[in-house]
A = this chain, B = another copy of it.
Amino acid sequence: MEIRNPRTGKFDFSIQPVDANGVRSRTISLRASQPGWMAKGIEQRVRVLQQWHTLIEDYSTDLLESLIDDTGRKTESEKELNYVLRAIDSWCEIAKKILREPESLSTSIPVLKLQNHYEPFPLVGVISGWCFPFAHLMKEIIPALLAGSAVIAKPSCVTPRFVRTLNHTIHRTRGLREVLSLVEGTDDILEPLCSNADFVCYNGTAAEARQVSDIAHKLFKPSSIQHGLKNTVIVTETADLENASSAILLGGFWNAGQSSSSIERVYVHRNVYHLFLSRLVGKANLIRLAYPTTESGQIGPIIAEPQINIINGQLWEALENGAKLLTGIGQCEKWEGGYYCRPTIITNVKPSMKILNEETLAPILPVMSYQDTEEICEWVNGITQAHSGAIFSKTANEAIALGDKLSIPYLSINDIALEEVLQVGQHPQMTPETLEFEGTFSNYKKFFRKKTFIINTHKPFGTGWIKS
């Protein structure tokens, strides 16, 4: 299978896709090794991951180079690599704190005793997208391995170059290759991968998330499916426009908007709409394409080829129907075989347009003005639901009062994507108290299945049903 280079458009790399039988045979050997991995205990598993960390560092030049070839962008690739190294460190600390010991409990009926046992799913299937090919892959692999699971993982075949180097590090880490296998393949192996695993994880785009989630549902597989969708920002009348425009600039345009936390809708109170827009446009005009070199600017190429048509289609529909372009040229531009989308700010968009409802994954910010709380709530709650969002306003209480009326589950206040910032690997060591409330606990706990025993210490309740 030939792989396209996002900067040159050339098919300069190839992979040997594994088929369904290949997946099955790997899962058999992974399953055979998992009890031994589990029996090692957390301290030894931590040691294996620490050795892996060392090897990833040793190979970091190669890994970084291939990640840059995969994605066409440099600073984001450096951040990905650093994130992975920090995440291994953090998870190794955290996993030692979150031991899933059996719980013995009394119940509301004195003769009944309850015990909860936790065991890791023997085999976890990890599938990941191309937005952050290395980070999204490792985000699940690391805690799953520490929990005691074996892992079969399918990185995106849009960005497979780094996998070869990563495989070197896996093969050189003693005890790791028996319980971790990376498979390269097309969508054809999604179903065999899910059906042979006990638990399925996906991180990446909304479209692929839906595909994996449909398969997991059909197969009755427990799963953890993570993606973003139409993340939405609201700038109220009282917001600090300087801070808001800087944060939204980053949220909309970093990684060329190709991220599950990218902002894809901006609503601004009409009293500050023009002031906000002029600041945002001013800052957007300072952003450059990362062409001819990866260091020429901030906006790398479109990573996944099918995105080019999606982006052009959404822009075309909007502009044909009256939307107004404040920055950008209204379509992707081609440079030496690579496609780039300039930072694009558009106004006069209508709620029915694709660009406000479907996943865009590009550096495009539709900006709308709103009149009052009632109107903004009606708009935000009446459109494709955002998976996360942000509110900028003078006080947190004002933002929270508004946020309580919106159907958005995660809301950052006076910043963007803070739920990502609180992720493992992004920040200093966590305390046991913060583990649970920041979601880290559940991101580890998900790899364990719970078994509940209820013991009747007296005689069975129903013995008197039939009398002889």
Contacts and interface: CB of A to CB of B under 8 A. Distances in A.
Contact of A418 (B254, B399, B411, B456): B456
A247 interface: yes
Interface string A448-468: 011111111101111101111
A460 B109 contact: no
Interface string A410-432: 11111110110110000111110
Q: Copy number in this complex?
A: 2
A264 B467 CA distance: 23
Contacts of A403: 451, 453
Contacts of A451: 403-404, 408-411
Contacts of A16: none
Interface residues of A, number: 72
Contact of A453 (B107, B217, B400, B416): B400
B217 A108 contact: no
Contact of A460 (B286, B415, B454, B462): B415
B108 A414 contact: no
Contacts of A411: 451-454
Nearest to A122: B407
A250 B114 CA distance: 22
A116 B454 contact: no
B428 A460 contact: no
Contacts of A321: none
Given A107-B434, A217-B217, A437-B103, A243 B460 contact: yes
B459 A108 contact: no
A115 interface: yes
A388 to B, nearest CB: 9
Interface string A15-53: 000000000000000000000000000000000000000
B456 A109 contact: no
Given A109-B428, A286-B466, A428-B109, A414 B243 contact: no
